[in-house]
Structure 1
């Protein structure tokens, strides 16, 4: 998703997304990679459902259809957070504490963005769905729900690993007079996964996939690590190819950076999946939830 600037490429008839992270094919590749990196303790139906999860990882961007302005407006800020807009040492762990802090500092939260909160909330949604699976392992509706939630989680987690989703300089370095240097850089970075023809097997290989102990703290750690790379992205900017460039001379630093970010996105997403699975073991499903009756199991 290319954040907050118009592009001329139509996603589908009537759909134009100004905020596509890693481009759609990139999300598909990264999500296949994340599922492939999972250990065997994650249920087989989930690992075998990689193509479905990858399909659904594109859906958050589908909500940007200009013909559905309400969902577009609600969806838009889920994909980024412009860290410089709030001059505080650390961000709160909950969405509404963050919203309160924004208002206290005169910042519009929907302008700043919510991506780390979207990541955490979808991780917990997936954990609840996994808890249902543990109780009703043969229920196909619950299995489908797990794959759907995982697709949405993948999208936001992968977006958060693209440094230009974390800064006010999302598509060009903003100057004092409002001018932007290197306008168009966001699309170039978004296109690197597909431009370099990265393969899920390569991205998932030898990944250290462990669960998070404190999920939101680790999400914020990942956020800050990505935010620290913004200056490096701009230093490489002139050497980064557009996704449709035909005569690019390979640049070793750009290639290494792109692969590092893609592997980081793969690992981060896989760790969130494993975290959700482990968390689900500790969750209780109330007795009044009678899936076996309602679903005819």
Structure 2
């Protein structure tokens, strides 16, 4: 088995499931007509939540928008890096940022794009930027998106990226608490908000790496991995047993980060709308939701409050 390649999801982030779920939860946290507008376009938001990852396969400039390798920016970079893109370019150079990632700065840029779309009242642009902004905010909550050792490749833990953000959530989501009392809140300082998320995610790295090492010591290579054949080539991926053991050691860490990302997505969407002057969005969905759509929204909100979204089959499948 030593000669087999480890299956990783190098183009992914949070996995499609959690990106879609976080977008969905964020919609439930919005107020009034803003919530109605977003819910009326929920299918679009769900479908396009992972779009930025797909774009990485076609656009060579897309990758660094999803991460930030803090080690490359000097000691204590999570606390010492500038708040704005312009200051960061002046301090490190644009080439450095393009090489080692700049997700917090791209979040702020996308927030400005969404604000402009709200001001223009352009439905297609609003939805486009809302979907992408949410994606980048969610990526900022993934610990491995803050490290140069993003896949455990430097510590003999290759494949850790997909284990943490995709394999475990897809196995454990039915056990997650996907209910929160958070309501979309205006961000007086969006830069501080996204950097707070980056710092929290980065602080989780010791457990992300350490717990995998601890669990590995309890497994043999045969029980840690399973082999698969694709197009005549053998690969190895984590067994369900190993993923569950890793999840148990991490406790509610991944669940907590998923909820935190949904909360901040709602906050960024709401902040962009407020900064645009709180435009009336009702005209963008005919002034009123259909009776069927209104009933659907109320059922979804009830399931959200009761933490029965998975049980009620309201979490969109991957």
The TM-score normalised by the length of structure 1 is 0.75
Quote the offset at 1:26 in angstroms.
2.2
Structure 2, gaps ≥5 residues long: 217-223, 226-236, 280-318
Q: Which residue of 2 aligns with 1:193?
A: 169
3-state DSSP of counterpart to 1:203: coil
Partner in structure 1 of residue 288 of structure 2: none
Residue aligning to 2:197: 222
Gaps of 5+ in 1: 1-5, 10-16, 134-141, 175-179, 284-297
Higher relative contact order (CA 8 A, sep 6+): 2
Q: What does residue 81 of structure 2 align with? A: 91
In structure 1, distance between residues paired with 2:183 and 2:6: 37
Cα contact 2:142–2:257 (8 A) shared by 1 = yes
Query: Residues 183 and 43 (structure 1 numbering): CA distance in 2 closer, same or farther, change over 3 Å?
Result: closer
Q: Quick check: 1:50 aligned with 2:38? A: no
Q: Deviations over 1:57-87 (max 9, x none)?
A: 211111122xx4xx2x210110000111112
CA distance in 1, matches of 2:81, 2:36: 37
Partner of residue 126 from structure 1, selected from 114, 121, 143: 114
| Distance of 2:123 and 2:188 partners within structure 1 | 25
SS of the aligned residue for 1:181 comes to coil
Matches within 5 A, 1:136-215: 142-172=122-152, 174=154, 180-191=155-166, 192-198=168-174, 202-215=177-190
CA drift of 1:204 comes to: 4.5
Deviations 1:7-44 (CA, angstroms, capped at 9, x unpaired): 757xxxxxxx6231111222112211211222225252
The separation in 2 between residues aligned to 1:198 and 1:150, in whole angstroms, is: 27
How many residues align structurally? 250
Q: Secondary structure at the match of 1:219?
A: helix
**Contact 2:6–2:158 under 8 Å retained in 1:** no
Q: For 1:253 and 1:120, how far apart are their aligned partners in 2? A: 34
